[in-house]
Structure 1
Amino acid sequence: MYFEAVSGPSSYNNEEKTSLQYVLEHQPMSRRGYTVNARTEKREVFVPKTDVPSPETYQMDLNIIPETKRAFKPFNAASVRFPIVARSTDVPGPGSYECDVKQNRQVHMLHSFGGRTKLIPAIKTKCMPLNRDKCVICLKQPIGDYYQYRNEILCGDCFNFNWQWQEKFKRTYLQAFQKVRDCSHVHEHSGTSARIQLVDNRIMKKLQRKEAYLSLYWP
């Protein structure tokens, strides 16, 4: 008696899975042959398009000489070469403004190796509970921004007057003064060393960057 072999559970017939017919039926096919172990197939042939316009339909006829306008003077010598704005009388001449202007002005930054750059403010802010600085010339408390060098204080009016007339201080000495201001616009001390911040840091940095840029042109 003949008994047919029956495969057990979790098993398969090796001859059926490895035959050439099984491989041809289950092997992935690719038209370009890019996939792993894929056989190539005949690529699709694109039909060329013939319903396109000929060059005669859009190209001008080169046999006809185009008409040209004759110049009033040879080589168009009488034509306008410059725009009307450049020939206007409202534009100042070369001698009416300062030519020796400093170029490529950049805001001063504090650099460090491996660290972030820090802006050097154009006007130094003095944080103090009560501003008791007085001008050494007029003996009055300065209003707004003023100038300081070591322990000497000058208000804005006295500094500008001495810069022009050099009555008490020479101009070379006034160059050492730095523009400062108190912290009343940023902090509120109420007579103590503690401070209450009035302006956000982000807004303050934005104002300092704008002030540092404008100080390059209007010191």
Structure 2
Amino acid sequence: MPEKPGYCLAFGKRRLNWPSVAIFCTSRDTATCWVCQERPIGDYYYNFKTKLAVCRMCMKRKLKALQDCEMNDFKRKREMLEWCEFKPVRHCSFYHTHCGRNLYHTLMTKQILRRKLELENYLYPYQPFLDKRYV
């Protein structure tokens, strides 16, 4: 018997928890920051339209520069709209290792992963980063 599809409802049905942070599962992490040309460590930001990655440190520096009072409001809002396209992502290496192949070896149990994703999903709306309040 085929497995029932997951639903995004909670009224007696199975539900799918979509992670708030997108996860790239590839055998090699080839992401490089287009600002500093280094590999990002941990989570980073990715623009799915332009396929550009930015590390957390460069994003933090850019946001600090955008909050500078010398920049006029029109330019600040235009640049914030461009930088809002970057969404938080991470590589799958926190959960499993590929060892250079398509096969993988898990580093944590599914229960621990589920709890981690549930906690991140719960705390995600409280992150003021690149929110509509800034734009």
SS in 2 for 1:202: helix
Match of 2:58 in 1: 158
Number of residue pairs matched by the alignment: 110
- Report runs of 4+ in structure 1 exceeding 3 Å deviation: 109-115
Structure 1: how far apart are the matches of 2:117 and 2:102?
A: 24
Match of 2:15 in 1: 117
1:1-219 matches, within 5 Å, as 110-111=8-9, 115-150=13-48, 151-166=51-66, 170-219=79-128
Structure 2: how far apart are the matches of 1:179 and 1:154?
A: 10
Q: Deviations over 1:2-40 (max 9, x none)?
A: xxxxxxxxxxxxxxxxxxxxxxxxxxxxxxxxxxxxxxx
TM-score by length of 1: 0.45
Structure 1: how far apart are the matches of 2:102 and 2:11?
A: 34
Structure 1: how far apart are the matches of 2:64 and 2:123?
A: 23
RMSD: 2.5
**Residues 163, 170 of structure 1: 8 Å contact kept:** no
Structure 2: how far apart are the matches of 1:173 and 1:110?
A: 30
Structure 1: how far apart are the matches of 2:37 and 2:94?
A: 23
TM-score by length of 2: 0.71
Structure 1: how far apart are the matches of 2:124 and 2:10?
A: 24
Partner amino acid, structure 2, of 1:199: M
Deviation of 1:117 after TM superposition, in Å, equals: 2.1
**Residues 148, 180 of structure 1: 8 Å contact kept:** yes
SS in 1 for 2:45: strand
SS in 2 for 1:184: helix
SS in 1 for 2:126: coil
Structure 2: how far apart are the matches of 1:127 and 1:115?
A: 28
Larger radius of gyration: 1
CA spacing shift, 1:110–1:160, aligned 2, 3 Å: farther
Q: Which has the higher contact order (CA 8 A, sep 6+)?
A: 2
List runs of 5+ in structure 1 lacking aligned partners. 1-108
Structure 2: how far apart are the matches of 1:111 and 1:176?
A: 28
Q: Taking every aligned residue pair, what percent have the same amino acid on both sides? A: 27
Higher helix share: 2
